[in-house]
Structure 1
Amino acid sequence: MGAGDEGGEDVMAMAGSAADELYTLRDSFFPADILEKDSKLKSLADSALQILDAVPEAKRTSPLQRASFEYLRGKILDVFPVYRKEAEDHLSKAVKLNPSLSDAWLCLGNCIWKKGDLASARNCFSLGLSKAPNKKILCQLSMLERKLAQGNGHTLQLKTFDSISKILRTKLKVWKKAFGLPKERSPWMLRMEILGVNCLGNACLTSFFVNGVPDYNRLFQSIKAYQNAANKYLQNYQRALTGFEAAALKDPGLNAFEEVRKIVNVLDKIEDAMKVQFRKKNKDPPSSLFAEVSKSSSQGRATIKTLAEGQNKSVALTGRVLHFLKHDDAPPLYYIVCDSEQNCFVLSIYGLHSNALKEGDWVTLLEPYHQSVDFSWKNKHYGFSSIRVDFMGQLLVNGKAPSAHLAVQSMIQAQHKPS
């Protein structure tokens, strides 16, 4: 393979990453002024299309290459909340060129859903699932089935009970199997992660309503599925572990033991990293450096020991990032941070690209949400302080707000860097 071939593949990969970053912004950036979000989406979409257009013509010739190219263009164009025919046209070309491209079927279904053609959208999702298992498609399909089960005014159509119940019984089995799929890496925030759990919750909730008679067992299953997902997201680790273990014992097919393993794996890594940093903390810089950095915030200064449980209004905590914690689960990102009194805590962040925060950076946490983790599981004790960041407005990196499109900017710079 020549250098030109490798370059073309690199640009296509960069375009794919740029498209992913675009969707990260869509799902994680919620400014007070909606026009600010629209402006950033347009700017990033233009940048992503600029990268895609740089793919050499020689890398767009075969049907598979052309399908990938059309898919990315349609995906980028479809990031906006309103339907765009241009996006549908490109995505339709992609699935015609490569019917096995399940992600293109997902995007096409979402695009068609926007124009109100729910039956065609469901057909796209079903075709995508027939090509390959895909948790994102399962989640979209679960929501679409629930919407299709409703008539005008959000009342259920009695004549559809039998057919819908049959569909749901089939899909409940499929969604349970989805727990065994590999976890799809994505920097999305606030999706409750655990996509299979949400699919099952949606399915059970819909089944409760469409069966024609109250099925409280289904309703309780739905509540439990959402509850387990919420506990994991909110980092109520003990409740999440207990809930997933109970689910696994009742139905081994849910593969909930895998969720238990991932949570325990993260907790073990946190404990090990905290012990290492405790031994090294006397090497940390003096508090005077922290005072200089914390001037970027007008709020009262705090340390991890002065924070109350929950949200701490009108205060800011400044710390230095000591360690990035790598793990095999989905977001959040975990860091070990040291405050001005050289006390370490765990910082978990949703919706931030991993490139935006590095070891050695200074962070200022505005109105931090503090949790004290203190419990035992399987004869092992876990105890540490934790701060969770859900929204980028709560975070300053080296005195500045992190850029939501940092990764896209770096890719554009790399593309135009002289060889």
Structure 2
Amino acid sequence: MSAEEQLVDTVDKLYDFRDNFICQNGIEKAAEKDKLVNLKLKEVLSSLMPLESKCPKTIYFLHYGRALNIIPEYSKECEDFLSKAVKRDPSLIEGWNLLGETFWKKGDIQAAKDCFEGSMKRERNKVALRSMSMVLRQIKCSTAKDNINNVIKSVEIAKGAVELDAVDGLSWYILGNAYLSLFFATDHGSKTLSLALGAYEQAEKVDDRSKYNPDLNFNRAQACRYSESYEKAFAGWQRASDLDPKWQDPHCRKEELLKYLLKVNLLVKQKGKVKAKRLHGMIASLNKKAVGLLSPENLVDKNVKINQVSISELAEGANPEKVVIGCVVCNFADVAKVPFTFAMVDKKGTCCAVTVYNLAEGKGMIIGDSVAIPEPYFNSVDITLPDANQTKCAFSSIRVSNPAMLIVNGKKVPEDHRAFVTASMDAQN
């Protein structure tokens, strides 16, 4: 083996040690991963130094910098080595990609973008494409429109990386993140979340190591939380915590959702704790006016059929040609901004939760409002919460992706009450 081959092989084995750490050592060792990778890095750097005089300078700078780049934090020494490598040979695609990752860690997004663009000018490659997808989602734009355009472009670029190599788990993971960002940046609904979840699933299918990626598990849990698959969300955050015990975000998200579900579960059961006399008055106030434009006499197209039904008559999933009417008994703005959640009772006194996405802050429904929901998407929540008491959580829920379809107090929700989703991913990719 030549000195150059030995150089490359040593650094390759360092990355193999990191990328397969959980597979080879078990999840019980997860808390020690960073420390052991850093120790392995020191060993590798020591073994590389005697090779410097035996290798071409450019190649040595490149792979010494590649070794330093394995740590998640920015390294000035790493930047210096990689900068020397691409300065000596500007055609080094791998060098530009590694230098771009270093600038990313440094927080210099524009410099990172320049590096990845430089790489793609020389050859369209999956590493630069998926890195550009990440960069575009981090660029701070002066307008919401520009931000949305960047996110849409990031999805297309991430698709390009997958097209170049359909069995690269990391490219599928980045595509999943791009779809998830699209959900957070636009008024797209559950379809976008399904695309994100599909990409994460494909990442694990093509590369078993993806299962041990804490960020993938965290982001997939985020997608599950907003698709209201709560058990999967809890499982994903727990998995992310197990894989990276020092990371607090999964635990925080788990506690936030626990608090939310416990309160929704309690107040739906108690019908918002509204006193019996007032509740009776609320139910009695529900009349034809609450349907507004959806009443037969107000429909422009007389061929359209909208049948008023009670909550108990709703089927799981979509309910076409049906409308359910209720009176708001409480909302949960104090425990979750996205989705805006309230509880309502129908004419029969049945209570359910309603989750409304893309509603502008401060424009939510208040106690006493009548709400008509056409073609409601119905879900029965029935899970055991992972809290100390293993609380049984069971309530009915209606999901509303577009608030413009709602009729509140007999009137359509104004356009200015709509807003893009403003929750965040928190993971870095």
Q: Name which one, 1 or 2, has greater alpha-carbon Rg.
A: 2
Larger relative contact order, structure 1 or 2 (CA cutoff 8 Å, min sep 6): 1
Normalised TM-score (structure 2): 0.48
